Amino acid sequence: MKYAYSNGFILDGSENMEPVSGKVILTNGDKIERIISDEELIGLAGYEKINLGGGYIMPGLVNMHLHLPATGKPKKKEFPLWRSILKTPITQTLAAAMVKWAAFIKTAAMRVASPGSMPFSNRAASTPLK
């Protein structure tokens, strides 16, 4: 079926999205054939004329309320690996134990590395070489 959509504002998806008036969208089935001026519509035959009544038309889009990223492609919903791992009570318990163990090891390493904690460290540094 061929349609001619007229008497409306076309939102073409350009950067500034300025509404365009005085144009007619010609379609054949689900394809846009071309866009013509209102004056060219007068002698046009073979199209069912659709009066948009001053409404807006956004060709090519189904959902007019859609937030797209800068690339224009929808983002895939990504979940961090840790989120999928920590879904079960067992993995949550193991993760908590690993955090506690890591804190214990860090504290123990800091005690060993602190100045004066090793009995011969100061004497070895102050003893002259022979």
Q: What residues contact residue 4 under an 8 Å CB cut-off, 6+ apart?
A: 24, 25, 26, 27, 41, 44, 47, 48, 49, 50
Nearest to 57 by CA among 35, 41, 29: 35
Mean pLDDT calculated for residue range 60-89: 66
pLDDT, residue 104, reads 73
Mean model confidence pLDDT for the chain? 76
pLDDT, residue 128, reads 52
